Amino acid sequence: MTSPAPTTDSGRLLRRGLRLEYATLGWNVVGLGVLAAAAIQAGSPALAGFGLDSLIEIFASIVVVWQLKGAHKEREAPAMRLIGTAFAVLGAYLLIQVAVVFATGVRPATSGAGIAWTALTFVVMLALAWGKIRTGSALGNPVLRAEGKVTLVDAYLAGAVLAGLVLNALFGWWWADPLAGVVIIYYAATEAVHAFRHTP
């Protein structure tokens, strides 16, 4: 069955949703290179973990672009499951990362590039998350709203990594970053369960 043509408002909202996803994709693709270089230079597991989070965010954005371009109801459930999987992978990785850092007492070097990028990412991702959640709510599109929460997790993770990097640089508090990661693990697990339970 052919889907009805979108109204003027829904068409405008769909285009806005796609622009938000393309902006997220572009930012995270650039971020992969910046984070990889900073992580290698500083020997920072936090920055390496944040790079993986950027990969998950790229994956989630691609899923949402696929769903928005299709605009078919039957795509909603598999898209939500894929986003739930992204949350679960993020939470599992962070859990392992926190355990390893506390067990080994890894002390990364100071990274000026890492501090600058995570500070910028924190602000940018908060703005993108707000736009996606608001647009998804206006469209009645739970997939876009859910991916907005993935972006919100990305912002929280940027803030946690930033705090850890700054505290390590100023006071040598190497444990601050993995401790902040525990909060993100809880949030990611909650959103993964919500996404898997969603029924269109």
Residue pair 115/21 in contact by the 8 Å Cβ criterion: no
What's the chain's average pLDDT? 82
**What average pLDDT does this structure show over 20-42?**
91
Residue 116 CA: distances (Å) to CA of 9, 112, 113, 142, 171? 38, 6, 5, 33, 18
Q: Which of 74, 19, 61 is closest to 146 using CA atoms?
A: 61
In angstroms, rounded to a whole number, what is the distance separating the alpha carbons of residues 195 and 133? 14
Of the listed ranges 29-33, 60-64, 138-142, 148-152, the one predicted with least confidence: 60-64
Q: Which of 195, 61, 171, 46 is nearest to 38 (CA)?
A: 46
Let me know: does 162 contact 38? Beta carbons within 8 Å: no
Task: Answer yes or no: is pLDDT of 6 > 60.
Answer: no
pLDDT tens across 132-189, in order? 999 999 988 888 888 888 888 889 888 888 988 898 889 888 777 677 777 778 877 8
Using CA of residue 112, residue 118, residue 124, residue 127, what is the dihedral sign?
negative
